[in-house]
Structure 1
Amino acid sequence: MSRPVTDGIDLTEEQREFVALARDFAEKEIRPRSRAVDEADTEAPLDLWEKAAEIGLTSYMLPAEYGGGGVTDLVTQCLVQEELCYGDIGIANFLTSSAFFAEPVLHLGSEDQKKRWISMLTDGVPPVTSVAVTEPGVGSDSASLQTRAVRDGDSYVLSGQKTWISNAPLSKYFVVFATIDPTLRSRGVTAFLVERDREGVTVGAPMKKYGQRGTLNAEVFLEEVRVPVENRLGEEGQGFYGLMGTFDASRILIGAGATGLSRAALDATITYAQERTQFGKPIIEHQAVAFRIADMAARTDVSHLVTMRAARLFDAGKSTPEISAVAKLTASENTTWVCDAALMTHGGWGYSREYFPEKWLRDAKLEEIEEGTSDIQRLIISRSVGKPGVGR
C-alpha cells in the first residue's frame, strides 16, 4: 500500500495511532466488503458501522467534552479520511458521517444542544444521522431553499421536500435547513434538529446510484412537521452561515477522500502493470503505460498536497471558501482522471467487475458533484483569484 507524504508535518504519536488505526480498518474490514456492498446497491454495511463505532472511528473527530475522540484538527481528520477511503470511499463516507451532522450543531447550537445532540453520537453504537439541504429544484444554490419554516407559538411548522439526502433511509435524526421567507434568500435560511419519528416526516426508498453505494441516499418529505423552538439551531437566518462553515471543512475532507481513492487506483494499477505481460515484457516497461502511471502518481501527490495545505490553513483559522474550493476541485477532478487511467491500463479487465477500476471510476464521479459541483468551485475560486492564498 502506498503511504502518503505529509508535506513536512511532524505528526504526534496520537495522530500516528489514529492514522494506523484507520489504515488497518480499511485493509481488514472495508476493502474486503467493498465489492459486495457495491453489488448489493441499496444495502448499507451496518455491521461495519458497529465495528467502526467500537474502536472510535465514527466519533474520533468529535470534541472530547461531549465524549468524542477529541481529534478536532482537520489535518488529522484528512489523513484518517484518506486511509479509510483507500478501502472504499462510499463506505468510508458513511462511517464518518456523524461529523457532517455534528458540524452545524457545533457552529450554531447552544451548550445544551451540543450536550444533547453531540453526546448521543459518542455513546456506544451511535444513531445514524443526516443533514438535509438539497431539494428537487435546489442543488448548489443553498440560498434559494423552498422548504418553509413557519413560526407558530412555541413551535415551527416545516413543510417541503429534500432529495439526495445521505443516510436518510437509516437516519434517526436530521439537521434540516429551511427558510422563514424565500425572498430573504441566505438571510432567511434557518437550521432545525428534527427527529425522524415526528409526525409528518416521511423518508423515501433508497435511490439506485451510479457509484458510492456504501452510503444510501433518499428523499425526505416534510408535511407540516411541528418542531419546538428549542430544536432551532441558532437564531432565525443564521442557518446559511452555519451551512457555509460546514462546507468549508467538508469540502477539504472531500479532497482527502478523493486522494485516498486515487491512491487505491494508483497502487492497483502499478501491481497490475508489473504482473501483466504483453509483447514479451511487463506492460509497466512499455513507455506509454509508464508515462500514464507517472501522471497518475503526480496527480495523486498534487491532490494530497493541496488538500493538506487547505487543512493546515483551516486549523490555523486562515481558511476561506476559495481555499476549500481549490482542494475539492483539484482532488475530485484528479481522482476521476486517475481512476479512468487505471481502467485504461487494465484494458478489458478494467471494464470487468472482476477488478476494481470500473467501480472506482463510478465512485470518483460523485466527488465532482457533491457539496457544490466543479463548476461551482470554479465560480468560487474565480471571485478571489489573485488574493493571498489563491492563485499564487
Structure 2
Amino acid sequence: MPRSIRDALELTPEQREFVELAKEFAQREIRPVARAVDEADHELPADVWRRAADAGLTSFMLPAEVGGGGVTDLETQCLVQEELCHGDISIGNLVTSNGFFAAPVEALGTPEQRRRFLEPLCSAEPPLTALAVTEPGVGSDAASLTTRAVRDGDSYVLNGQKAWISNGPFARFFVVFATVAPGTRSKGVTAFVVERGTPGLTIGNPMPKMGQRGISCAELFFTDCRIPAENRLGDEGQGFYGLMRTFDASRILIGAACTGLARAALDASLAYARDREQFGVKIIEHQAVAFRLADMAAKADTAHLLTMRAARLFDRGADVTEEAAIAKLVSSEAAMWCTWAAVQTHGGWGYSREYLVEKWMRDAKLEEIEEGTSDIQRMIISRS
C-alpha cells in the first residue's frame, strides 16, 4: 500500500509533538478499552478522562490565558483529533469534547466570562461540558429552535426542551441556545451558560444509541429555569453567529475524527488480510480484496486532505462554510464505507464482537448524521 499522504505534509515541531502525544495516548489508553467502553454503554470512562486531562489532551485547544495548552489553530487540533480517533472515535471525541462548549464562549464571551467558564476546564480535574442546540423537532435548522428565553429584571427565564445533548448526563456547564424573539428565526437566537443544578433544569436519562457509546447523550428540560443575565454570551440575537462559526469548526473536526476512523479500519483490514488465508493464499493476494484495500487508502487520504484544506482556510479567517461541508460530507462517508469494507474484509469474523470493526461501523454512522446529515451538507454545497 502507498505511504499516507500525511508523510508528504510538513509539520512544525510543535505539531509533531502534539501528534506524537495523541498517537501514543490513543495506543496506550484508548484502543485497549474501546470494547469495554462500548459494552458499558452509558457509563462514563472516567479513568480515561482523568488520564487525558493529566496529559493535557482535554484542554490543549483552550487559550493559554485561561490555563489551556494554547493550541488554538484548527489545523493542529485536527491533527490531534485524527490520532485520538484512530484509537477509537467515540473516546477520542469525548477527550476533546470540551472544545465544543468553549467555542461559543470564546467567540461571544467577555474576558470575565472566559475566565469564569473556561479556567475550570484547564484544572487538574476538569468538568465535562455540553453544547445544547438540538431539539426534538429541530435538528440542522438551528434558526427555527423554540426554546424560549424571556428577560425578567437581572435574569432570563428559560422554557423548552433539548435532545441528543452529548455529555448531557454528566456535564457541569451547558451552553444553551434559545430565542428571545420567537418567529424571527436567527435574529432572536441567543446563547446562555446554564450550570448543572440550576432550579428548573431537569436532565433526562441517558439515551440508548447504536454506537459511539463513550459519549452519553440526554434530553434537557427547562421549566421556568432562571439564570442570571450575566450568563448570557454576547448580546441578544448574537447567538446564531457564534453557533454558525462553531458549526464550521466542528464539521471540520468531524472530518478529522472520521479520517482517524477510516485509517483505523484500513489498518485493521491490512493486518487481517496479511495474516489470514483463503484457498491456499493470503487474503491480501485476492484481487477483489486488494482493490478494496486500495479504495480504503484512497478514501482515507482524500478525507485527510479535504479536512486539512478546510482547517487551514478557517485559520486564515476565511468563510469556510462550503469547505467545512465538503470535508464533513466526504470524510463521514469515507468512514462509513471504510468500516463497512473492514467488516467485509474480515468475513464472518467482522460480524462478530471479536474484532472492533463491527463497532467502528456502528460508530461511523453517527458522523453521517450529526452536525447536519449528508443530505444537509450536499444542500449547503449546492447553494454555495
Q: TM-score range by the shorter chain?
A: over 0.9
SS at match of 1:156: strand
Cα distance in 2 for residues equivalent to 1:104 and 1:261: 27
Q: Counterpart of 1:140 in structure 2: which amino acid? A: S
How much does 1:15 deviate?
A: 1.2
How much does 1:10 deviate?
A: 2.5
SS at match of 1:226: strand
Question: Is residue 2:372 matched to residue 1:369?
Answer: no
How much does 1:44 deviate?
A: 1.5
Listed one character per residue, the Cα deviations across residues 85-107 of structure 1 (whole Å, up to 9, x for unaligned) are: 01110111111011000000001
Cα distance in 2 for residues equivalent to 1:154 and 1:9: 52
Cα distance in 1 for residues equivalent to 2:26 and 2:8: 24
Match of 1:192 in 2: 192
Cα distance in 1 for residues equivalent to 2:183 and 2:141: 14
List aligned pairs for 1:151-230, cutoff 5 A. 151-230=151-230
Cα distance in 2 for residues equivalent to 1:7 and 1:238: 41
Match of 1:387 in 2: none
List aligned pairs for 1:10-29, cutoff 5 A. 10-29=10-29
**Contact persistence 1:7–1:308 (CA under 8 A):** no
List aligned pairs for 1:228-377, cutoff 5 A. 228-377=228-377
Q: Counterpart of 2:333 in structure 1: which amino acid? A: E
Match of 2:89 in 1: 89
Matched residues, number = 383
How much does 1:317 deviate?
A: 1.5
Match of 2:77 in 1: 77
Listed one character per residue, the Cα deviations across residues 232-252 of structure 1 (whole Å, up to 9, x for unaligned) are: 000001101100010111100
**Contact persistence 1:6–1:308 (CA under 8 A):** no
How much does 1:3 deviate?
A: 7.8
Q: 1:3 to 1:219 in 2, by over 3 A?
A: farther
Q: Counterpart of 1:182 in structure 2: which amino acid? A: P
Cα distance in 2 for residues equivalent to 1:242 and 1:133: 12
SS at match of 2:157: strand
Q: Counterpart of 2:370 in structure 1: which amino acid? A: E
SS at match of 1:205: coil
SS at match of 1:271: helix
Listed one character per residue, the Cα deviations across residues 200-228 of structure 1 (whole Å, up to 9, x for unaligned) are: 11111111110000001000111111011
Cα distance in 2 for residues equivalent to 1:131 and 1:3: 38
Listed one character per residue, the Cα deviations across residues 157-205 of structure 1 (whole Å, up to 9, x for unaligned) are: 0011100000010011100000012211010100000011110111111
SS at match of 1:164: strand
SS at match of 2:156: strand
TM (norm. structure 1) is 0.96
SS at match of 1:62: coil
Question: Runs of at least 4 residues of structure 1 off by over 4 A?
Answer: none
How much does 1:12 deviate?
A: 1.8
Cα distance in 2 for residues equivalent to 1:4 and 1:212: 26
Listed one character per residue, the Cα deviations across residues 281-318 of structure 1 (whole Å, up to 9, x for unaligned) are: 00100001100110011001100111011111111112
Cα distance in 2 for residues equivalent to 1:235 and 1:118: 19
User: Root-mean-square deviation (CA), in Å?
Assistant: 1.1
TM (norm. structure 2) is 0.98
Cα distance in 2 for residues equivalent to 1:179 and 1:318: 28
Listed one character per residue, the Cα deviations across residues 49-81 of structure 1 (whole Å, up to 9, x for unaligned) are: 110001100000001111100001111100100
**Contact persistence 1:131–1:166 (CA under 8 A):** yes
SS at match of 1:125: coil
How much does 1:4 deviate?
A: 4.9
SS at match of 1:121: helix
Cα distance in 1 for residues equivalent to 2:288 and 2:94: 37
Can you give the 5+ residue segments of structure 2 that lack an aligned partner in the other structure?
none
Cα distance in 2 for residues equivalent to 1:302 and 1:64: 33
Match of 2:140 in 1: 140
SS at match of 1:178: strand
Can you give the 5+ residue segments of structure 1 that lack an aligned partner in the other structure?
385-392
Cα distance in 2 for residues equivalent to 1:323 and 1:7: 23
SS at match of 2:346: helix
Q: Percent identity?
A: 67
